[in-house]
Structure 1
Amino acid sequence: MSRNDLVELAKRRGYFFQSAGAYGGVSGFYTYGPQGATLKQNVENTWRERFQIREGHREIDSPTVMPEPVFEASGHLDTFDDMLVECPECGESHRADHLVEDNTDIEEAESISIPDIEDLIAEHELVCPNCGTELGGVPVEDFNLMFETNIGPGDSSPGYLRPETAQGIFVEFPQLAEYARNQLPFGITQIGKAYRNEISPRKSIVRVREFTQAELEHFIDPTEDVPDLDRVADVELKLYPADEQEKDDGDYVYKTVEEAVEEDIVHEWVAYYLGVGKQWYESIGVDMDRFRYRQHLAGERAHYAADCWDAESEVDGDWIEITGFAYRSDYDLSKHDEYSDDDFTIFKQYDEPKVVERATVDPDMSYLGPEFGGEAGDVAAELELLAERDRAAFEDDEVTVEVGGEEYAIPTEKTGFSVEEQKETGEHVMPHVVEPSIGIDRVVYTVLAHAYGEDEIEGETRKRLSLEPEVAPTFVGVFPLMEKDGMGETAREITEDLRAAGFDVTYDDSGNIGRRYRRQDEVGTPFCVTVDYEALEDDTVTLRERDSTEQIRVPIADLPDLLGDLREGETTFAELDAPAPEQ
């Protein structure tokens, strides 16, 4: 199935389409139609069940606009860039690393430096995709992807649309830690919109400017907390480590979660969530033959990540990132602790108090004030920090500290330096963060692409979406064979009863029964119920399964329970269709 086929099917069957089509459309923004919105919601709900409820985490909902200082602290204003090259002829902007990937054998150009990208563009004589102008010699520049706005009237309070939902969790950590009773580990999830001003949106909902993320921030004590690997130890992972990517003949490495940790291929916390992730992807219909975990190369790793692995799916010959699994260490919390007025640590109580030696200073401000004037306070603060990290600096007659790029020498006797024994009941811990960050739109795209198939039924080509029952937007279609002799009334009653039982049901009495089946097959509806003349006589109906097209007769009264078992995986259609064992 080509990308164009999927986009055409998605538009025709109400999954997704470009927004504002009446005004010519707007690049990078998509509307989910009736089928797509439900599929997306179902995918989100399965993610909540697996990553939140079963793991014992809690969810928040933070604003999509946040003030500028948040992103100064997080580093997004300085480092959240993509490589831009602008055509000197037509003015069209392109993402330079994508041009290289699309026109050379290089797969991961994002990790390459700007000077090397410029050399590759010249070497391969790459041209503007829009007008054909050669781009060799055209400068490549960093372009920040943040959407800027103003909070309130005027421009005195700049803000930004969040580029990830994660910062909405990190910035509220002090409050969230209180809700967790200051006990590590704990996890916070969030599903919501994020925004990135992409240079060149493409591949429909794969690379857009507004998208939905499902993120988990798991806060841990790096010295004590370990994952329960037994829960996923035997899950086999298809890994593409960085060292294999750098080889000419590099290949995949197949390891269980337990083996990947024991052989030091993946950090234990990241490995745990790779196992959880694989279970989830498989349950929603991602084809495991077209799925892998790829480790980030050093040059492409985000500024906050100590290590990162991407879950990638293959669609139409391309590998696309659908999830990032990062060990963010204490980068985010330490930055907000530094920039804000709040405390982003957890106080960990000792089982028993400890007696420790502490180096302290009590500077003689009657000396520092006249000697250093307005810098005296900063000099005192630097002395305090120096005593904490290097008490040996106070062994000489004079101590030197740096303030504002200048060095200041202070007689040691004026610092009030001393080493004292103190009793401590606990210590402040800066938690580390493990983060699975799922791109919901890309997962939806993958599920649709991997579900698509074609076969031949009665001499006709049939297109179908073999969606898993758990995520299919419509679970069952109900049809009267004909709208006469009470078949329509019975079919509508069944429809109402199934909806009351919690099923997403479509009713269709238009066209011949074969065409109705084909419509539901293409939409991805797993089961169809047909009311015929026999139903009027014995209160049974035909239940048809989408992929096999097999049909069985079942009592109308049994439909809710039977369909519920099928949806929950308690039974399969093949088991229902199997002949009863001989008595």
Structure 2
Amino acid sequence: MSEVLSKVLDLAKRRGIFWPSYEIYGGVAGFYDIGPIGTKIKNKIVELWRKYFIKDNSDFVVEIETPIIGPSKVFEASGHVESFTDPIVECNSCKRIYRADHLIEDILKKSVEGLKPEELTRIIKENNIRCPSCGGELGEVRLFNLLFSTNIGPYTGNLGYLRPETAQGMFTAFKRVYEVSRQKLPIGIAQVGRVARNEISPRQGLIRMREFTIMEIEFFIDPEDKDDIPLFKFSDYKLNILTAEDKLKNGKPREFKVDEIVKERIVIHPWMAYWMAVAAKFVRALGIDNFYFEEKLPHERAHYSKQTFDQIVIIGDIRVEISGHAYRGDYDLSRHMQYSGQDQTIFRKYSEPKIVKKKTLVINNTKLRDKELRKKIMELINNKKIEEIETMIKANLTIDNQPLSEFVSIIEREEKVHGEHIIPHVIEPSFGVERALFLTILNAYREKEGRTILSLPKYLSPYDVAVFPLLEREELIKKAREIRDSLSVKYDVLYDEVGSIGRRYARADEIGVPFAITVDPQSLLDNTVTIRDRDSWRQIRVNIDSIDVTLEKLFRGEDLNKIGIEVKNEDEQ
């Protein structure tokens, strides 16, 4: 697969899909430019994601946009300042720095994800793992924070960070979105945006980058509400899942129906199964069929997660995570409520009012006319829970040799309650756009008779159709341009009149254009053109007046032979 990977990277550069950024200065690891062809494909992937995750779920998902830079306080609350770290190890001789877990995995061929620094240090020492560059001894493993820091405004000390995910903007905007969405749960907040992570060892092209685009949803739910979840959409849908239990036994992924995942409690909440099924449909729409969901073990999960499934794509001998699905519980809203002092709860209304017993603190003001005594008692009970004060009373606590019970008491009353305040829980499906682009390209790569074909799904191709004049003759060029202009109203058209027709076909194949229309001398005689299929190289001859109808049939998936008369393509011989 390394040979294929090398060919894909070469194709990406030659055909304007992607290439390393700042090449004229030697490049910077982890940064990539997305070229004109890559941008077209990337934008179509993003729109496809919007269709599956937002448009198809418009009853309960909305999209917003939030800033790339946030104040330090936001990322202190989120836990990233403290916990967004990766382990690094430095060579004592040449001072090169490596990501410790990746280095161990590359050499020992076993996963050590999530192990503590001291455990990684022990493994390095026990297995005598040396510096790959100079063979020197490696030092102690330590943690490195992946946040990019910046200064907000001209004043020093106004620390900010580039967001490592789009999530925090959605959490801090939750109450606003909830208010404008008629105060109902569930509510999904979607965002597509740039993020930055100061990766230690970016590698494999677009797989691990320092700046990239994320597509994710923060889906806010009432954890006790498990009704009206539209799992019927996936009644016959099956997912391959490697559960944590099977993983510990070195087992393999097993096939489950979506409702089985819920019934067997493989997921914490049914909505997890729903969004995993949506993710499966989306990845299949990218043309990728070989994937499974792997449950992360407790030590492998992010600091905010109570359960995580990674969606793993398999292409040849490459296994890459294309999406992550985390049950974040109430971690995020609770933390932001704690750090900001702003209420992030919502009111859960009961179907019927409940009669509940409530304990209330009563202060005997008639016995607290002495200001000093009153001050002492107020300081004692301030910020304490009812239960704590009750315990002090029962323990016969005294103030100035007088029992506390003389001044305060706890009484129990019945109240009619119409609901309660809760902190919503969050489920997060998250995709990296460039990673999805890379895996889509890698999966679509084909070779046929020494030539390259990018067999993309038709709706992801950078151009819908190519139009070529067979020869550089004025009358053929004029007719080809007329067809190009006519089709451009409805289709994204690639027009090319330079070079041999074989080379133009090859260029179109290499960027994944599904159909090519060629105007030849016969076109001037009988008003017909050829339409060539990218993958089979077969051609049919159709009337110019019926090109639009013919393309509609081809994009619906109808067979080429049933649409027009197949002709021999001399230029492919």
Q: Same fold (TM over 0.5)?
A: yes
* Among candidates 16, 25, 35, match of residue 33 of structure 1: 35
Residue 368 to residue 14, structure 1, CA distance change in 2 (3 Å): farther
* Among candidates 387, 409, 421, match of residue 414 of structure 2: 421
Give the alignment's Cα RMSD to 1 decimal: 2.5
The 5 Å alignment of 1:338-417 reads 338-362=338-362, 370=372, 379-383=381-385, 386-387=386-387, 393=391, 396-398=394-396, 411-417=404-410
Per-residue CA deviations over 1:273-321 (Å, capped at 9, x if unaligned) read: 11111111111111x23x2211111111111111110011124623111
The answer as to whether partners of 2:92 and 2:137 remain within 8 angstroms in 1 is: no
2:75 matched to 1:82? no
Residue 368 to residue 80, structure 1, CA distance change in 2 (3 Å): farther
2:497 matched to 1:504? no
The answer as to whether partners of 2:165 and 2:214 remain within 8 angstroms in 1 is: yes
Output the CA distance in 2 between the equivalents of 1:330 and 1:510. 60
Partner of 1:405: none
The 5 Å alignment of 1:79-158 reads 79-106=83-110, 108-135=111-138, 138-158=139-159
The answer as to whether partners of 2:540 and 2:561 remain within 8 angstroms in 1 is: no
- 1:575 CA drift (Å): 5.1
- 1:233 CA drift (Å): 2.7
Partner of 1:68: 72
- 1:463 CA drift (Å): 1.0
* Among candidates 483, 506, 509, match of residue 518 of structure 1: 506
- 1:368 CA drift (Å): 12
- 1:449 maps to a residue whose letter is L
The answer as to whether partners of 1:393 and 1:399 remain within 8 angstroms in 2 is: no
Look up the SS of the partner of 1:54 in the other structure.
Answer: helix
- 1:571 CA drift (Å): 3.8
The 5 Å alignment of 1:479-490 reads 479-484=468-473, 486-490=475-479
Output the CA distance in 1 between the equivalents of 2:271 and 2:523. 55
Residue 421 to residue 40, structure 1, CA distance change in 2 (3 Å): same
Look up the SS of the partner of 1:359 in the other structure.
Answer: strand
Partner of 1:442: 435
Output the CA distance in 2 between the equivalents of 1:59 and 1:418. 49
Look up the SS of the partner of 2:383 in the other structure.
Answer: helix
The answer as to whether partners of 1:345 and 1:430 remain within 8 angstroms in 2 is: yes
Q: TM-score, normalised by structure 2?
A: 0.91
Gaps of 5+ in 1: 401-408
Partner of 1:404: none
Partner of 2:170: 169
Partner of 1:530: 518
- 2:122 maps to a residue whose letter is D
Look up the SS of the partner of 1:61 in the other structure.
Answer: coil
The answer as to whether partners of 1:367 and 1:414 remain within 8 angstroms in 2 is: no
Partner of 2:444: 451
Partner of 2:563: 576
- 1:398 CA drift (Å): 4.3
Residue 89 to residue 413, structure 1, CA distance change in 2 (3 Å): farther
Output the CA distance in 2 between the equivalents of 1:413 and 1:374. 14
- 1:347 CA drift (Å): 1.5
- 1:180 CA drift (Å): 1.2
Per-residue CA deviations over 1:426-464 (Å, capped at 9, x if unaligned) read: 2212111111011111111110111001121xxxx1111
- 2:239 maps to a residue whose letter is L
Output the CA distance in 1 between the equivalents of 2:428 and 2:316. 28
Look up the SS of the partner of 2:206 in the other structure.
Answer: helix
Output the CA distance in 1 between the equivalents of 2:63 and 2:477. 44
2:551 matched to 1:551? no
Partner of 1:325: 325
- 1:297 maps to a residue whose letter is L
Per-residue CA deviations over 1:506-542 (Å, capped at 9, x if unaligned) read: 1111222111111111111111111112222222211
Output the CA distance in 2 between the equivalents of 1:378 and 1:532. 95
- Segment of structure 1 superposing worse, 85-94 or 46-55: 85-94
- 1:92 CA drift (Å): 1.8
Per-residue CA deviations over 1:186-214 (Å, capped at 9, x if unaligned) read: 11100001111111111111111101100
- 1:363 CA drift (Å): 5.6
Partner of 1:285: 287
The answer as to whether partners of 1:345 and 1:428 remain within 8 angstroms in 2 is: yes
Partner of 2:569: none
The answer as to whether partners of 1:211 and 1:439 remain within 8 angstroms in 2 is: yes
- 1:416 CA drift (Å): 4.2
Residue 412 to residue 572, structure 1, CA distance change in 2 (3 Å): farther
Look up the SS of the partner of 1:477 in the other structure.
Answer: strand
- 1:423 CA drift (Å): 2.4
Output the CA distance in 2 between the equivalents of 1:448 and 1:379. 65
The answer as to whether partners of 1:150 and 1:157 remain within 8 angstroms in 2 is: yes
Partner of 1:4: 6
Look up the SS of the partner of 1:515 in the other structure.
Answer: helix
- 1:554 CA drift (Å): 2.1
Residue 378 to residue 293, structure 1, CA distance change in 2 (3 Å): farther
Partner of 1:493: 482
- 1:413 CA drift (Å): 4.8
Residue 333 to residue 466, structure 1, CA distance change in 2 (3 Å): same
Output the CA distance in 1 between the equivalents of 2:124 and 2:552. 57
Output the CA distance in 1 between the equivalents of 2:377 and 2:87. 42
Gaps of 5+ in 2: 567-573
Output the CA distance in 2 between the equivalents of 1:24 and 1:533. 49
- 1:578 CA drift (Å): 9.1
- 2:442 maps to a residue whose letter is A
The answer as to whether partners of 1:309 and 1:326 remain within 8 angstroms in 2 is: yes
Partner of 2:239: 237
Per-residue CA deviations over 1:89-113 (Å, capped at 9, x if unaligned) read: 222221100001111121x321222
- 1:485 CA drift (Å): 5.1
Residue 280 to residue 572, structure 1, CA distance change in 2 (3 Å): farther
- 1:145 CA drift (Å): 0.7
Look up the SS of the partner of 1:332 in the other structure.
Answer: helix
Output the CA distance in 2 between the equivalents of 1:477 and 1:375. 84
- Segment of structure 1 superposing worse, 520-529 or 366-375: 366-375
The 5 Å alignment of 1:556-567 reads 556-567=544-555
Look up the SS of the partner of 2:224 in the other structure.
Answer: coil
Q: TM-score, normalised by structure 1?
A: 0.90
Residue 427 to residue 132, structure 1, CA distance change in 2 (3 Å): same
* Among candidates 21, 25, 31, match of residue 19 of structure 1: 21
- 1:141 maps to a residue whose letter is R
Look up the SS of the partner of 2:184 in the other structure.
Answer: coil
